[in-house]
Structures are given as C-alpha cells and as structure tokens.
Amino acid sequence: FKDNPAPFYTLAKELNPKHFRPTKTHQFFKLLETKKKLKKCFTQNIDTLERLAGVSEHLIVEAHGSFATSRCIECRSKMSGDQFVLQLDQIHPPDPLIVKCPQRSCFGKRTALVKPDIVFFGEQLPAKFFKSLSDFQDADLLIVLGTSLQVHPFASLISTVPIHCPRVLINLEAVGEAGRRSGGAGQGGFDFEGIHRGGKKFTRDVLVLGTTDDRVGQLCDLLAWKDELLALCEPKRQPESHGEGMDSSNHEDIPQVEMSGGNNEAEEKASNQKDDDHSPAARSPLPSVPGRARSSSPQAESKLLDPQPESDDLREQQSSSAVARSRDKDGPRDSSTRKSGENVDQLITTVTHLSLSENL
C-alpha cells in the first residue's frame, strides 16, 4: 500500500458505501435491536451497511474494520469516512488517485497516506473484536447468515456460545459443519444431523437454506413482525392486514406464540407428547434455555402458518398438522415442495428460539 496505493484507492472508490443501501437482512438486525433482542452483531463486511440501517454503533463489531473511519498511516490522525470519500471523489485524472493527510506535520511526506480502518492481510483485527468475544457466552441464540465460514478467527466464533445455545444458519448452502474440512469451524462446527449429540432429535443446530433476505422476510412474517420490517425497508409504506390472528399493530409480546411459565411443566410435557409426530420439535428440538419456557401450543403454530386463505392443495397438505410438512401420508411430494416444507419447519423452530431469546 505504501509503495503503490493507487490500486487500493481505485477499489475504495468502487466500494464507496454511498453506492449501496441496506438490505432487508440489515434492517432485520435493526429490528432485533428495537425488540431489545440484539446482544451484538459481528460482521466481516466493511461496507458499513449495518450502520446505515441504523444499528447502534456499540452493538456492531466489524471484525475486518470498515469505511466508517480512516486515519493517516504516519501521524495516525483520524478522518471520518465521509471526509475520506469526499476527498476521493474530488480526485480526477490526470491527478494521481491518492488521499494525503491534511495535517501540517505530514505536509510533503510521500507516505502520509490516509487509509480506511479496514484490516489488510497480515494486520491485527480491531481491539473491539477481541473485547467483545465474551459476549458469546451470554448468547441465548446465535444466528449466522450469508457466509462461507472459511476465514479465521471469525469462522470459529460459532463454537464459543454455551453448549445449550441454539444455533441457526441461514445460507445458500450448509457450511461450517463439524468434521468437514471445507467447513472451517473444526470440532465446534454445526451438527445439523445430531451425529455428535446422540441423534437428530438432540441437535441444537438448525439449517435454513435460501437467500438471507427471503428467509429473514419469512421469519418476520411468522413472528408477526412483517410490517415492522417492511416499515424499516420502506419508511413511507402503510401497514398491511394479515388476516385474523396476525394483527401487526403491536407485536412486542409476539401473541401468536403461547409462552408457558415454569409452573406449567406438566401441561407442556403433555402437549409435547401429544404432538410428538407433528411438531417442529419432532424434527428440530428446541434445547432448553435457562429461565425461559418454550411454546407448547400447536394452535399457535397453526395460526402462524395460516394468515391467508389457502388453495385446496395447500389446505389438504396442512390438514393433518400445520407444521408437519416434510412428510405426506398420501405419498411423497416433489422435491421443490418438500424442500419448501422443510424450510418452513426450520423457520418455525427458529421463530420459537427467537421469541424466547434476549441476547443474540
């Protein structure tokens, strides 16, 4: 960089955060903060889109730094990201694409270059990253989205949450699996099949395949947070009606998910036993979260899936159980329908995890 900074500045101009806008996934992080459920948002991205979505700075840990701030590599004087981008945009050929430090002490120095606070290869990660690692021990739920889990030490973070903490991966493909060389997470990796925990019914890990925006949207729909998410994405948008049981005017307590207290243990056991074959817990059990009770109402789960009238095919598909979609008594369905049903099941499991969690 010191010897030939122009290639980096050319790239920096293309990566200017002003050229991008937060996605539905970024707004989901803000919604979690609004719901007082976000403990920390760890990201490998350097584009500051979490900040642009309104997530509070103290909740964001940019493991590889970001364009939010810049500083002179000689005198270490700080420059805001906006100032850096402004200077960069004001440079036009034939002038060299270089941002020099404006401080008097650096005047005339060839190496007085201003560099965004992003981590170059071989550089140390930000101090905030290491100071925030202890937050993983306080997590009630870990959600991992859109990553290859190949770069360490970030890839190994999934293994630092408590052993009882549920972990959800929303991704285009399964990554970070225990025992897989390509996973990058080593022995603390995901175990979606429960191989290392005595069977799938004991696993704490949930895999939801698809784009993060699509799955986050479905997740918020099931949580009855859809209007709040869309309001963040489109501030001028008017709330929609979701039909009976899905009024979105006040979802702070998530009324569609019945939350039983500690005194209803017998009732919860009876409900779980009765619906063993049809509940999402039969495929993806919900590990116990200390101090929290989970949903034991199959009726509530049914409401989550039936906000609008369905077609005859869909109604028949839901007749035996609103959530048992991975299997059909009358015979196998095509692979696309089966995959969609499995994703719904996994999302419902995630809904219950999320509704009971305060530290993500």
The mean predicted confidence, pLDDT, of the chain is: 70
Binding-site residues from annotation: 72, 75, 101, 106
- Sequence length of the chain is 360
pLDDT of residue 357: 59
Look up residue 309 and give its amino acid.
P
CA distance 315 to 335: 19
- The pLDDT assigned to 298 comes to 33
356: how many CB neighbours lie within 10 A of its CB?
Answer: 22
Q: Are 168 and 141 in contact (CB under 8 A)?
A: yes
| Pair of tokens at residue 124 | 């140390």
Is the separation of the CB atoms in 231 and 239 below 8 Å? Answer: yes
pTM greater than 0.85: no
Cα–Cα separations (whole angstroms), residue 34 to 145, 162, 214, 217:
19, 25, 21, 16
pLDDT digits (tens, 9 = 90+) for 91-112: 777 777 788 888 888 887 888 8
- Mean per-residue pLDDT, 273-291: 34
Per-residue pLDDT tens over the stretch 50-66: 999 999 999 999 999 99
Active site residues: 64
276 vs 27 pLDDT, higher one: 27
Residue 324 has pLDDT above 80, yes or no: no
Is the pLDDT reported for residue 138 higher than 80?
yes
How many angstroms separate the CA atoms of 174 and 160, rounded? 19
Close Cβ partners of 52 (under 8 Å, ≥ 6 residues apart): 17, 21, 22, 26
Q: List binding-site positions for Zn(2+).
A: 72, 75, 101, 106
Which domains occur in the chain, in start order?
6-131 (3.30.1600), 246-354 (no CATH)
Strand order in the sheet with 114-118: 78-80, 65-72, 114-118
pLDDT tens, residue by residue, 303-319 = 333 334 334 443 333 33
